[in-house]
Structure 1
Amino acid sequence: MEYSHIIVGGGSAGSVLANRLSARSGNRVLLLEAGQDTPPGQVPKEIEDTYPGTAYFDPRFHWTELKVRTQVVSHNNPEAAPPPLRKYEQARVLGGGSSINGQMANRGAPTDYDEWAARGAAGWDWDSVLPYFRKVERDLDVNDEWHGREGHIPVRRIPPEHWCEHTRATAEAFRLAGFKYLPDQNGRFEDGYFPVTISNAEERRVSAAVGYLNAQVRARPNLTISTNTQVSGLLFEGRRCLGVTAVVDGQPREFRGREVILSSGAIHSPAILLRNGIGPVGHLREMGIEVRAALPGVGQRLMDHPSISLSSFIRKPARLTEEYSRRHILLGLRYSSGIPEAPRGDMFVAVASKSAWHAVGEQIASLLAFVNKTYSETGQVRLASTRFQDEPVVEFNLLSDRRDLDRLMSGFRMLAAMQLSAPLAAVTTDPFPASYSDRVRQIGVVNERNRWITRAIATLLDGPQALRSWLIDRYVVEGFTFRQVMEDEEALEAFIRKATIGVWHASCSCRMGREDDPMAVVDTEGRVRGVEGLRVVDASIFPVVPCANTNFPVLMTAEKIADAMLAEAEPALTVGGDTRA
């Protein structure tokens, strides 16, 4: 069967594209997803849960072999030992990251998208993208010029009267520090603290797959969804892409179409291009791959938001309860570092009143600070081998720009002062600099062994203060104590260099830009330069990572490019109902 569009990857972008393109009766759309399906009425309970801490630790929904380096890798010093590899919880399930992420539904700053346009993405300035952000959402709380009311993804906020005592105490600490309360995170972009906006309705996650691939859409005769399907290669005739090869439930298959759209994310989309001869000439020749299109930007300038965490023990009365919600991140803070180059709102703090699904996680709060406007743009994705089964080499090179390190250091000091302020001191004890280490990851895997271990530890932590402090220093703190990093500037810098990780916002590795930009991989409608019939539509095409969790910017991007694609042809009848704008 010949398809009009073959979409490789059923994540946020792929779900949007499948919906919008199949709404036109003349199109025949194939959506390929390596992971499992999440059909209506059969969404796994871990994914549907408003609390995301089980889904994003569940290996059933991950590319389990994917590991990355977050610290800067030195390629000029062969004697230096490489930084450690870290497991990276990249989603492998229909809905992609939207099926396992924290359900944070924010957009970024207007200055982000004006910068996109300035970097060569004409037509992607703030005024041009705002209508597509509105098109994505169905805001359940707010009705004004910044919000949509008819989109596929419901968004809402949990109001302060439904917060636990720890969250309320943190908000009071923010207020006393001089920050303004903002009732709407996605309203006018300014500094302040706010109830975080979430992609959630009636205490249930609404992933891109749930929102865009509902029963009506799935019933369309011109849409085929093939899960458990990993693409192994692209088919070409000269420089025209004709389709893909894939493995479906272990069996090799071939699919042909007029256009192939890679929506596999900022790690796997560039890897697919590289394996098929599209990328930097030197690397392709090094791997023994024939060069089909020389595009030096493929896999380059990978970005994420560098982040660090200050944690503490929550006194029992202040802990999260499930009276109103199982959500653990209810409150956020956006603030400006004041460095001359950065726009306002260049820093962000997410307040987690529960740090994991297990009993110890319920006792630990975290103030997670990340650099909203990062200047570290030296990450890269390269091939480890030519086999499609092998994960690529991924180097994020976080903190490659000193400004990011300096802002995390000052941000940690600011959070420490708030942690010691009267409101938080009344509800927490034993603050400590936290690391998302392999030990934390291992205990975070959902299984009965970890359930019993953490119950035992939690019982001890709720015991005498002296025992709790000893246990935290002995078994929780990894390498640096709170006193060390507060009293020793070198210790603080060493801690941040070691413990900084990204926040699963991989982006920018196949950037869109002007035709005369040698590092631009795609044009402003996602078309890959130098080949025909091939697009990339996902976070990899961002010119720079926005000041936001990346899921809503991805949804916006897919909506905008789908609109452009549909505008290329004559209008036709829609099919299958549910074609809300």
Structure 2
Amino acid sequence: MAGPVRAADVVVVGGGSSGCVVAARLSEDPDRTVVLLESGPGYRSAAECSSVLDYRTLPVGPRSPYGDTYGIELTPGIPSAMVRGHVLGGSGAVNGAYFIRGTAPDFDRWPPSWSYEHVLPFFRALETDVDFEGPMHGATGPVPVRRQPADRLSAVSAAFHLAALDLGFAEEADKNGRDGEGIGPVPLNVGDGRRISTASAYLLPALDRPNLTVDVDSHVVRVLFSGTRAVGVEVDSGGARRAVRADRVVLAAGAVETPVLLMHSGIGPAEHLRDNGIRPVTDAPGVGSDFSDHPEVGLPYRVRAPLSRDATSPVLEAVLNVGQIEIRPYTASFDVLVPGSGQPVPRLGIGVMTPESRGRIRLASPHRRVRPRIEYRYAETDSDRRALRNGVALGVELLRSPAFHSLVEPIWEEVSDNEVRAHLGTSQHLCGSCRMGNSDDAGAVVDERCNVRGIDGLTIADTSVFPVVPSRGPHATAVMVAERVSTFLSG
């Protein structure tokens, strides 16, 4: 292998929502050397990254340097695309600043050591909630959490809130409470008028530590092994290959790239690896298998007059959670929210938050830079199709309510499977592609401490380890997992 060899105690692969946390936390020990490798661009101060700090838009349009686009198949015959953050801070640096925790019932589907009682201290530790106090909330954590004040809601959010109340849904003032449902404001990872990613909250304040090295524009090709022990990674930087040796490798490349990297390294379904000319290090059939995400239907509507939006309006200000449905009134059309996207029709997002559908990620080539095949397999069960129809029907009812009548009118008249398929998308909340599980779970890739089974020295700390996608967006839960995995590795 050409190029120099660097040594560290820990190498963290991926400077996204989870990797920034792990690198910053582990480097708090001055006797531990940490190298963080990020494939996207980086920055050392807020002044260098103004476009990823503007929480009012999503900087992932066609010409953005901060997004990686993947071709996907939503369901047979329906191709689409998904975008992941490609910059320090990852998807949490370019998303809608939605920062709702997983609910207490969500963690009933995780191993017992990840019950809500076990994870609540880490949710509290990561945040400073400026709106709520008490035993459910943190006051000294790195991530600020706030909600848009009622008197500054956009016209769409204000009308949606009233419509939900008029239809009899409960007010849910604190969506980061233990559980519950209803209409309420979205907790936002926003402070001082900026989107605060984990790069801003955790990593930038740590950059001057002599024991922490951050290499951007560094593409990890594979994990290196001695037998079944991870001993480092091979990195491509500017076309030159080098090795980074480490006592511990932590993968935090995200729920797409982490399983892809594992498979290219010889960890995955053995037959699939051999088909791609890769020698298996260990047979791990759960790698890339049975992931979950939130199917989302974009329910379009017409506006009767231009809709006002406050200068401080985020992408989402309020959501309605009812049963397994979440309805999201985006504060503007996507040609405004995602510059360059060319989507002028406004819409409500109708998400199914506890779907039965499970997807699969598989290699399309033995070459590392070739995009994988990502099959979502949405709407393949009667239950999921019914949930989508019911969610759309509720969305139409909200749009037709007196609170909305003077502003908008729905475009759909008939709620059918065909119409749902025509407007089907994804919330881009992919989780569980390397899920954790107990020792008797043959499909689990990592144990309850997020160490890869059958391999020494290799840990995963991102949304790929979630047993199943939470019933809320995964960002806050991803930061919690990274916080907790950091304590495992520091112990």
The TM-score range, normalised by the shorter chain, is over 0.9
Tell me how far 1:398 sits from its aligned partner. 1.5
Q: 2:90 aligns with which of 89, 96, 101?
A: 96
Question: Within the alignment, does 1:354 sit opposite 2:332 as a pair?
Answer: yes
Tell me how far 1:534 sits from its aligned partner. 1.0
Looking at structure 1, the residues matched to 343 and 459 of structure 2 have their Cα atoms a distance apart, in angstroms, of 44
Which residue pairs with 1:327 in the alignment?
314
Which residue pairs with 1:370 in the alignment?
351
Which residue pairs with 2:464 in the alignment?
540
Quick one: which amino acid aligns to residue 559 of structure 1? E
Distance 1:313 1:43, change over 3 A: farther
Q: Secondary structure at the match of 1:515?
A: coil
Question: Within the alignment, does 1:418 sit opposite 2:412 as a pair?
Answer: no
Q: Secondary structure at the match of 1:70?
A: strand
Q: Secondary structure at the match of 1:258?
A: strand
Q: Secondary structure at the match of 1:297?
A: coil
Q: Secondary structure at the match of 2:84?
A: coil
1:99-127 deviation digits (Å, cap 9, x = unpaired): 1111100012201112112xxxx310111
Which residue pairs with 1:163 in the alignment?
153
Distance 1:55 1:290, change over 3 A: closer
> Is contact 2:298-2:425 (8 Å) kept?
no
Looking at structure 2, the residues matched to 16 and 321 of structure 1 have their Cα atoms a distance apart, in angstroms, of 32
Which residue pairs with 1:510 in the alignment?
434
Tell me how far 1:57 sits from its aligned partner. 5.5
Which residue pairs with 2:209 in the alignment?
220
Q: 1:69 aligns with which of 73, 78, 91?
A: 73
1:277-322 deviation digits (Å, cap 9, x = unpaired): 1111221121122111011111100111011122223343642132
Distance 1:561 1:56, change over 3 A: farther
Quick one: which amino acid aligns to residue 8 of structure 1? V
- Residue correspondence of structure 1 range 14-413 to structure 2 within 5 A: 14-55=19-60, 58-64=63-69, 66-71=70-75, 73=76, 83-117=77-111, 122-215=112-205, 217-316=206-305, 318-322=307-311, 325-336=312-323, 346-358=324-336, 364-377=345-358, 379-413=359-393
> Is contact 1:319-1:363 (8 Å) kept?
no
- The answer to which structure has the higher strand fraction is 2
Looking at structure 2, the residues matched to 547 and 52 of structure 1 have their Cα atoms a distance apart, in angstroms, of 24
Tell me how far 1:133 sits from its aligned partner. 0.8
- Residue correspondence of structure 1 range 517-556 to structure 2 within 5 A: 517-556=441-480
Looking at structure 2, the residues matched to 265 and 144 of structure 1 have their Cα atoms a distance apart, in angstroms, of 32
Looking at structure 1, the residues matched to 74 and 48 of structure 2 have their Cα atoms a distance apart, in angstroms, of 32
Q: Greater shift after overlay, 87-96 or 42-51?
A: 42-51
> Is contact 1:46-1:55 (8 Å) kept?
no
TM-score with structure 1 length normalisation? 0.80
Distance 1:361 1:287, change over 3 A: closer
> Is contact 1:279-1:294 (8 Å) kept?
yes
Which residue pairs with 2:417 in the alignment?
493
Q: 2:485 aligns with which of 558, 561, 564?
A: 561
Looking at structure 2, the residues matched to 329 and 101 of structure 1 have their Cα atoms a distance apart, in angstroms, of 10
Tell me how far 1:363 sits from its aligned partner. 7.2
Structure 2 residue runs of 5 or longer lacking an equivalent are 1-5
> Is contact 1:299-1:510 (8 Å) kept?
yes
1:133-160 deviation digits (Å, cap 9, x = unpaired): 1111111111111111111110100121
Q: Secondary structure at the match of 1:255?
A: strand
Looking at structure 2, the residues matched to 152 and 87 of structure 1 have their Cα atoms a distance apart, in angstroms, of 32
TM-score with structure 2 length normalisation? 0.95
> Is contact 2:96-2:315 (8 Å) kept?
no
Tell me how far 1:188 sits from its aligned partner. 4.1
Quick one: which amino acid aligns to residue 536 of structure 1? I
> Is contact 2:156-2:329 (8 Å) kept?
no
> Is contact 1:320-1:328 (8 Å) kept?
no
- Residue correspondence of structure 1 range 569-580 to structure 2 within 5 A: none
Q: Secondary structure at the match of 1:495?
A: helix
Looking at structure 2, the residues matched to 421 and 361 of structure 1 have their Cα atoms a distance apart, in angstroms, of 29
Distance 1:234 1:317, change over 3 A: closer
- Aligned residue pair count: 483
Tell me how far 1:55 sits from its aligned partner. 4.1
1:223-273 deviation digits (Å, cap 9, x = unpaired): 000000000112111111111111113321111000111111111111111
Distance 1:530 1:289, change over 3 A: same
Q: Secondary structure at the match of 2:334?
A: coil
> Is contact 2:250-2:461 (8 Å) kept?
yes
Structure 1 residue runs of 5 or longer lacking an equivalent are 74-82, 337-345, 433-481, 487-491, 568-581
Q: Secondary structure at the match of 2:68?
A: coil
Tell me how far 1:42 sits from its aligned partner. 3.2
Which residue pairs with 1:460 in the alignment?
none
> Is contact 1:243-1:254 (8 Å) kept?
yes
Looking at structure 2, the residues matched to 333 and 136 of structure 1 have their Cα atoms a distance apart, in angstroms, of 25
> Is contact 2:153-2:310 (8 Å) kept?
no
Looking at structure 2, the residues matched to 165 and 89 of structure 1 have their Cα atoms a distance apart, in angstroms, of 28
> Is contact 1:33-1:230 (8 Å) kept?
yes
Task: State which structure, 1 or 2, has the greater radius of gyration over its C-alpha atoms.
Answer: 1
Q: State the identity %.
A: 31
Tell me how far 1:361 sits from its aligned partner. 8.1
Cα RMSD over matched residues? 1.8
> Is contact 1:398-1:502 (8 Å) kept?
no
Quick one: which amino acid aligns to residue 428 of structure 1? V
Distance 1:294 1:188, change over 3 A: closer
Quick one: which amino acid aligns to residue 9 of structure 1? G
Q: Greater shift after overlay, 44-53 or 196-205?
A: 44-53
Looking at structure 2, the residues matched to 168 and 179 of structure 1 have their Cα atoms a distance apart, in angstroms, of 15
Tell me how far 1:411 sits from its aligned partner. 1.2
Looking at structure 1, the residues matched to 11 and 68 of structure 2 have their Cα atoms a distance apart, in angstroms, of 22
